[in-house]
Amino acid sequence: MRTFAIIGVLAIGLITQARADIFATGYFTGDIYRFNEQTAQQSVFASVGTFSGLAGIAYNPLNNRIYVSVQNLSSVYAYDANTGTNVGQFSLGYSPAGLSVASNGNVYVARFGSAPPNGQQPPLTTAEVRIYAPDFVAAPTVITVPNVPVGAAGIGFAANGDGYITTNGAGIYRLPSGSSTPVPFTDQMNPPLAIGQVAVGLNGKVYAGDGSGFSSSVLRFDSNGALDGPPITISESMVNTTGPQGGSALGTSPAGVVVDAAGDVIVAVLGRSNPFDPQGQNGGLFKFGPNGGSPTMTFLTDGPALSSVTIGPTAVPEPSSIGLMLLASAGVMAYKRRLRGTAPAIDEASST
């Protein structure tokens, strides 16, 4: 059985080389970018169009779709996660911000404001999150954040099903699993500018990005809504925004945040970008450990202004040539042993 054991170990080793790609949205370019998790290789996955305002992105593993909220077109676009083919364009009638997919496959969209220029619906008077079926056919269920007269910015889910809603300057709210009524998670002044994606780590910590242009930090909170240690900071030098071409004067705007399967935090950065100067877009994409510190991997720096990020499907493993040679050698050994009649019978007696 030794030869077969060797083959089994090699096969397991090859299988565990599977990886998941990272997808990020270019707010001004209108492109959706795919990044190789291991090599940081970048490619354009799909394109909506310049100045379409890509605000949020989420992957739905139940139908293998990538959903993107398109702020300036008041829509959500859906793409085949393997091919990048557009498989749906859904008009919302309002300006969306972040979005997320719940464990049942429903898509939660944060309503940032009325549709430009005049709005197909009444002016926004309270923060809302709208829940759609994956095909966006039925009318949505509306979740209203009580007494918050500003737009919602993002939503993310914990493993227990609780949702977390960021608002346009009024703090963060928790949506308990199975409930339709959000409750305060952080107060209005803590922080007033958590405007971006929100994600929950394997450690139960809540990470909130900020795309307002006034911050350079991703904030981390404990389960009670208290700030938990120093923030994850994106310095100007990390995205090369120290020059005069920067469009925003006060912060690097790390708007997007997602947590991968290992618990690491991936941050998408708008940068101090000038949307009218392609050379003046200073976005970036970085990976940090759960507690922040220095980035453990840089996917992009001094690049397109990135507004949101998600983890896509696990790719087909790409076995190494050495692994394939070892696997082939083990197979030849097993075949020769059979020819010589020395291969042990696969029965209960030979396994003892």
Q: Can you give 182-201 as a three-state secondary structure string?
A: CEECCCCCCCCCCCCCEEEC
Q: CA angle, 304 as apex, 40 and 202 as ends, to 5°?
A: 50
pLDDT band at 341 (very low <50, low <70, confident <90, very high): low
What is the structure's pLDDT at 194? 61
- Measure Cα distances from 83 to 42, 78, 79 in Å: 15, 12, 8
Q: How far apart are CA 310 and CA 155, in angstroms?
A: 13
- What pLDDT sits at residue 188? 59
Paired sense of beta strands 217-221 and 172-175, if any? unpaired
The C-alpha atoms of residue 28 and residue 278 are separated, in whole angstroms, by: 9
Q: Say how far apart CA 163 and CA 215 lie, in whole Å.
A: 24
**13 backbone dihedrals φ, ψ, rounded to 5°:** -60, -40
- Report the percentage of the chain scoring pLDDT > 90: 58
The residue among 189, 175, 190, 170 whose CA lies nearest residue 142 is: 175
DSSP 3-state of 20: strand
Task: Tell me what pLDDT residue 45 has.
Answer: 97
Alpha carbons 204 and 290: distance in angstroms, whole number:
10
Q: What angle do CA 229, 265, 278 make, to 5 degrees?
A: 110
Cα separation, 112 vs 329, in Å, equals 59
**Do residues 25 and 45 lie in contact, with contact meaning Cβ atoms separated by under 8 Å?**
no
Q: Which residue has the higher pLDDT, 149 or 315?
A: 149
**What is the spatial distance between Cα 264 and Cα 297, in angstroms, rounded to a whole number?**
10
Task: For the chain, report the end-to-end CA distance as a whole number of angstroms.
Answer: 10
Work out the pLDDT band at 150, boundaries 50, 70, 90. Answer: confident
User: Residues 299-329: pLDDT tens digits?
Assistant: 999 889 999 999 999 765 544 444 444 444 5
pTM above the 0.95 mark?
no
Q: Which of 178, 208, 184 is nearest to 195 (CA)?
A: 208
Return the pLDDT at 113.
76
Q: Which bin fits 271, alpha (ψ -120 to 50), beta or left (φ > 0)?
A: left
Tell me what pLDDT residue 146 has: 87
DSSP class of residue 148 equals -
pLDDT computed for residue 234 by the predictor: 93
Higher pLDDT, 1 or 182: 182
> Is the pLDDT assigned to residue 95 strictly greater than 50?
yes
- The alpha-carbon radius of gyration of the chain (Å, integer) is 23
How far is it, in rounded angstroms, from Cα 253 to Cα 212? 6
Digit-coded pLDDT (tens) for 211-237: 877 789 999 999 999 989 899 999 988
Residue 323 main-chain phi, psi, to 5 deg? -60, -40
- What confidence score (pLDDT) does residue 240 get? 76
Q: Structural domain boundaries of the chain?
A: 1-18+320-352, 21-314
The answer to whether 218 touches 232, Cβ cutoff 8 Å, is yes
Q: Of the candidates 302, 311, 227, which has an alpha carbon nearest to the alpha carbon of residue 264? A: 311
Which pLDDT band holds residue 272 (cuts at 50, 70, 90)?
Answer: confident
What is the CATH T-level fold of the domain 21-314, as seen in this structure? Methylamine Dehydrogenase; Chain H (2.130.10)
The total number of residues written for the chain in this structure:
352
pLDDT value of residue 350: 39
Q: Starting at the earlier edge strand, list the strands of the sheet with 42-47.
A: 42-47, 31-35, 20-26, 306-314
Helix, strand, coil percent values for the chain (each to nearest 5): 10, 40, 50
At 344 the pLDDT is 44
Per-residue pLDDT tens digits for 283-293: 999 999 999 99
Range of weakest confidence among 22-26, 45-49, 259-263, 271-275: 271-275
| More reliable by pLDDT, 138 or 340 | 138
Q: Which residue has the higher pLDDT, 29 or 336?
A: 29
Higher pLDDT, 10 or 262: 262
Per-residue pLDDT of 108-137, as tens digits, reads 999 987 654 444 555 666 889 999 999 999
Residue 163's pLDDT is what?
97
Span 44-57, average pLDDT: 94
